[in-house]
Each structure stands twice: as structure tokens, then as C-alpha cells.
Amino acid sequence: MRKFIPLYFVFLFLASCSSNELPKPRGYFRIELPEHSYRVLDTTFPYSFEYPAYSSIMSDPYAPEEPYWIDVYFAQFKAKLHLSYKVVNDTNLIYYLEDTRKFVVKHIPKANAIEDSLIFDREKNIYGLLYEIHGGNAASPVQFFVTDSTRHFVRGALYFNVKPNNDSLQPVIDFLRKDIDHLISTFRWKNGAE
């Protein structure tokens, strides 16, 4: 009987080591999303809008000669909404529109789909397009432009300061998309620009 006790433990050890479990897939940290709340950008800029209270406004460090270029910075998400402003004249609006289109088209190799939505508010004199770049690892999943078509042009692009992986970023992209929609819906031209 004593001869079978070690054999019994060896059998028990071998039986317990075999398992059909698969390794767990790599996971991502849970992202806590704040409640949407907004404050007004009230400056001497030729435009105004409401931006999220959990973000900050920073001047563009790469374009110091452009005083109205800003970043709406979301430190919690390592993201920024870059806004660039240009004065429109008789000849340059078509250039700005084409430039915006080129920025969007650059994402075609990484995108599964690019959807555009019309921005049209005759009362506020705001016209434009919003682009959503779906799938892949696009560097900028949301872009837009607004213009009054005679004096002002603003282009916006959402960027993350992390390696693009839109599958894991999708909850944040969806969250910030609501903030971008709010920014566009509250956008106003200032200084007699209406």
C-alpha cells in the first residue's frame, strides 16, 4: 500500500496540471469620464464658444505668429482639440477648404470609413463640415471646419498624445465627440463678424 501512495500523488499532480483555460487577452485601464459641463471662451478672439470645464485653453506653441490658434487640452485623456483660425478674403477660402479636405483624405489608408456631417446655421452665419474617421489607427478621429464664407475660417482636429489605437480609445472619442458637437453648436463670430 505504501508503494502506491507516491504514485497516487504523482498522478494527482499530473491531473491537476492539465487545464483547458486560455490566457486572458490584454486589457486596458478603466477610464473614468466626468460629467459634461461647459464654460464660455470669452476673449478678444474673433470667435467664441463653450468648451468643457475639465479642459484648459492653451495657445499653440508651434505657431506663435498665429494669435488665434489654440488647443483645447484634455489632460485627463492626453488629448487636444487643435483649432486654427484664418482670415478669409476673395481668393483664399477655396485654398482653406482644399487644405482641410487633404488633412482628412490623408487618413484614408488607416480608416474603415469617413463620415461627414453638414454644419449649417444661417442665423449665426456658420457653415462647415464635421468629419468622423472610423476604425484603424487614425491620428485624428474627428475633424471639422466652420466659416462664415466671407471673413472667417476655423479648422478643428482632435489628437491624442498616445499611440493611435482607436479600439481602446473609442469610449473617449465618443465622449469628446459630444463636447465637439457642443462647441460647434455654441460657436459664434465676434467683433461685428456676424
Q: Tens of pLDDT along 90-145? A: 899 999 999 999 999 988 888 888 999 999 999 999 999 999 998 767 888 999 99
Structural domain contains residue 183:
yes
The answer to whether position 10 is within a domain reads no
| CATH number of the domain enclosing 181 | 3.40.1000
* Domain-embedded: residue 22: no
| Confidence tier at 192 by pLDDT (50, 70, 90) | low
Do the beta carbons of residue 133 and residue 111 sit within 8 Å? yes
Residue 191 has pLDDT above 70, yes or no: no
DSSP letter (8 states) at residue 89: -
Residue 177 lies in a domain: yes
For the chain, what is the domain count? 1
CB 33 within 8 A of CB 41: no
List the domain range (segments joined by +) for residue 97. 39-189
Q: Is residue 173 part of a domain?
A: yes
From residue 171, how far is each of 67, 82, 175, 176 by CA, in Å? Answer: 32, 20, 6, 9
Does residue 158 sit within a domain? yes
Q: Strand pairing partners for 96?
A: none
Residue 1: inside a domain: no
